[in-house]
Structure 1
Amino acid sequence: MSHTAPSSPDASLWRFSKMHGAGNDFVVLDGVTQPIALTPERARALADRHFGIGADQILLVEPADTDQADFRYRIFNADGSEVEHCGNGARCFVRFVHEQGLSHANPLRAQIRTGILSLNEAPDQSVEVSMGMTRFAPADVHFDTQGLEQTAQGQDTLWLLPVPGQEQPVALSLVSISNPHAVQVVDDVQTAPVQTVGPFIESHARFARKVNAGFMQVLDPHHIRLRVYERGAGETLACGTGACAAVVAGIRRGLLQSPVVVDTRGGALRIQWDGQQLRMSGPAQTVFNGQVDIVALCASLAKKETF
């Protein structure tokens, strides 16, 4: 399906929606009916929680460049970097497209950097997302294993990464769901060192493209608690691909059985995985709609950064 954005009398004024999925919050931009020239600088300005609108990620809906998709869906982190996938954002994408009247198709087909997603809005207003392929080789998350010890647990291979100040290395499950994830099991997510070990893992030199660091507490085979330190965003209230990665890692380790409820700090997600098909369902909510002068916003942020 093709769409063409009309010309705008003032391309610096952008209409947007502020949305969240289980507390993972987004600024969503309609690049179908208005021209949007989104740059890393502009994404950072929109995401700034003091001078901008404030968000974990910026989502941009654009015309698809393939007949296999209804729209293209792009994701920019708060630091301006563009990433491959965002599960919570995908649910908000569906709600946004329907609420804005861009399409009434259900399910919707979304083109992301790594393929096509199928997304379905349920009558109870939850959204189910087909999350695509899972991969587990170190190369799939751009991880350098040279000189590292490894150990097996169930069907999974755990990589033992030394952490300064800790006697024992952390045992990481590596999972790629378009985005790279490194998941560890902890006794209690409330006391887990997310704010210290999280950024250490996220930016570790062994991960060539950084990584999302997950901290998973297993409550029972169908229920976990999870915190995620996301690359380029820090700890978020929820991470959709992180929830999927944690469940897949737990199943491969022999700790979990599908389906699994994932309690995040922002709400609950439901993950199903049969070894091939991976599906996630959860909430998507619009907080408010507005308009922003992106040129003036970037100028304000530039003054702050040079002070």
Structure 2
Amino acid sequence: MAGIRRFSKMHGAGNDFVVLDLRDGQPPPTPAECARIADRHRGVGCDQLLTIEPASGADAVAAYRIWNADGSVAGQCGNGARCVAAWLVRAGAAPADGGFAIASPAGLHPVQRDGSGEFVIDMGAPRFAPEAIPLLGFAQAQDAYPLQVDGRVLTVGAVSMGNPHALLEVDDLAAADVAGIGAALQRHPAFPQSVNVGFAQVLAPTRIRLRVYERGAGETLACGSGACAAVAVLDRRGRVAAADGVAVALPGGVLRIRRDRDGHLWMAGPAVFVFEGEWA
């Protein structure tokens, strides 16, 4: 990376980010540079890098892109969206009380502020069609898909929240083989673009516990799009009541997901500044 870059270290429920301001036209980091910055021993350390860039249209105050810790590109990041919103407010580029929109690779995301001061993001409507995920081998959307994985059949839900997600419902989240099954599903031929893998335990119609094994990052303390995906799949099955709002407890904190009348999922949760720094 040429020259010195200023960055903000942030997290949303423990899902941590390095935020780079590229609105002045600086080039984005290369995959190798992303991996160096994300290295927790020799770099800054993060799950993803977020680059804030000029919006292409008047509907958004800014755009952002997501780079995984291994340098691969992601299509969506819910915790990152809240952090981008908070960063823009602090920078004076967006109103403090919400009422603006930001643009991700997955589309436009209106931003609100709730009574507790947390940012609330419109994550859009979940897409269940197999071709939208993408998921190969199935012609129509189903509540659950049987997949042969390492000699056994796993029943998974699948949905796109701007990036692909698979969900397994488990009875005991602590005992789930998150890394083993997560890695196996990520390399499964049914998911040609790999997949983020969630493991959910339903506690009540408005409460679940969740762990997520992310593409390019492994298990993270929280995954905003994964929380939305879990609620979407479980709501479709009648296991939760998304219209009433669902509290999703992840290892790093709690996210709140609610489905509106248009079928969009709104996500609320923390967006925390950790420190400012320079990378040379």
For the superposition of Structure 1 and Structure 2, which TM-score range results when normalised by the shorter chain?
A: over 0.9
Shift of residue 184, structure 1, vs aligned partner: 1.0
* Larger radius of gyration between Structure 1 and Structure 2: 1
Q: Does 1:232 align with 2:216?
A: yes
Listed as ranges, the gaps of 5+ residues in structure 2 are: none
The equivalent of 2:186 in structure 1 is 202
1:102 aligns with 2:89: no
- 1:271 maps to which residue? 257
Q: Residue 97 of structure 1: CA displacement?
A: 1.0
Counterparts of 2:158 and 2:143, CA distance in 1: 8
Quote the Cα distance in structure 1 between the aligned partners of 2:64 and 2:72: 15
- Report what 2:23 is aligned to: 32
Report the equivalent of 1:132: 124
* One of 156, 164, 169 as aligned partner of 2:150: 164
Task: Kindly indicate whether the alpha-carbon contact (under 8 Å) linking 1:14 and 1:36 is maintained by their aligned counterparts in 2.
Answer: no
> CA RMSD, aligned part only?
2.0
- Per-residue Cα deviation, 1:140-160 (whole angstroms, up to 9, x for no partner): 1121116x9x9xxxx943111
Judge conservation of contact 1:133–1:178 (CA < 8 Å) in 2: no
Q: Is the 8 A contact 1:217 1:225 kept in 2?
A: yes
Name the residue aligned to 1:45.
36
Query: Is contact 1:24-1:238 (8 Å) kept?
Result: yes
Whether the 8 Å contact between 1:95 and 1:121 is mirrored in structure 2 is: no
Which one of the candidate residues 265, 276, 280 is aligned to 1:289?
276
Contact 2:78–2:223 (8 Å) recurs in 1: yes
* Corresponding residue number in structure 2 for 1:120: 112
Question: Is the CA contact (8 Å cut-off) linking 2:143 and 2:236 kept in structure 1?
Answer: no
Output one character per residue of 1:221-246: Cα deviation in whole Å (capped at 9) or x when no partner.
11000001011111100000100010
Q: Cα distance, 1:34 vs. partner?
A: 6.8
Report the 3-state secondary structure (helix = DSSP H, G, I; strand = E; otherwise coil) of the residue aligned with 2:149. Answer: coil
> Please, what TM-score do these two structures have when normalized by structure 2?
0.93
Q: Deviations over 1:78-133 (max 9, x none)?
A: 11111111000000001111122333362231111122111123352311000012
Rounded to whole Å, the distance in 2 between the matches of 1:158 and 1:284 is 33
CA distance in 1, matches of 2:235, 2:38: 35
Partners of 1:37 and 1:218 in 2: how far apart? 40
- Give the whole-Å Cα distance in 2 for the aligned partners of 1:202 and 1:107: 37
- Partner secondary structure for residue 184 of structure 2: helix
Q: Relative to structure 1, is the Cα distance of residues 123 and 218 closer, same or farther in structure 2, using a 3 angstrom cutoff?
A: closer
1:170-222 deviations in whole A, cap 9, x for unaligned? 11111111111011100111100101001111221221101011100001111
Query: 1:283 is aligned with what amino acid?
Result: P
- Counterpart of 1:285, as a letter, is V
Q: How many residues align?
A: 276
Displacement of 1:262 = 0.3
Is contact 2:13-2:271 (8 Å) kept?
A: yes
Cα deviation per residue 1:246-291 (whole Å; 9 max; x = unaligned)? Answer: 0111111111112110000000010011461211100010010111
Match of 1:17 among 8, 28, 33: 8
Contact 1:270 1:280 in 2 (8 A): yes
Residue 246 of structure 2 is aligned to residue 260 of structure 1: yes
SS in 2 for 1:157: coil
Query: 1:226, 1:37 → 2: CA distance?
Result: 32
CA distance in 2, matches of 1:210, 1:45: 23
Structure 2 residue identity aligned to 1:43: C
Q: 1:50 to 1:34 in 2, by over 3 A?
A: farther
Name 1:185's counterpart in structure 2: 169
Q: Secondary structure of the equivalent of 2:87?
A: helix
Rounded Cα–Cα distance in structure 2 between residues aligned with 1:100 and 1:53: 22
The answer as to whether partners of 2:28 and 2:51 remain within 8 angstroms in 1 is no
Match of 1:291, SS? strand
**Alpha-carbon distance in 2 for matches of 1:270, 1:78:** 25
| TM-aligned CA deviation for residue 21 of structure 1 | 0.3
What letter corresponds to residue 269 of structure 1 in structure 2?
Answer: L
Deviation by residue 1:8-40 (Cα, 9 ceiling, x = unmatched): xx9510000000000000000111247243221
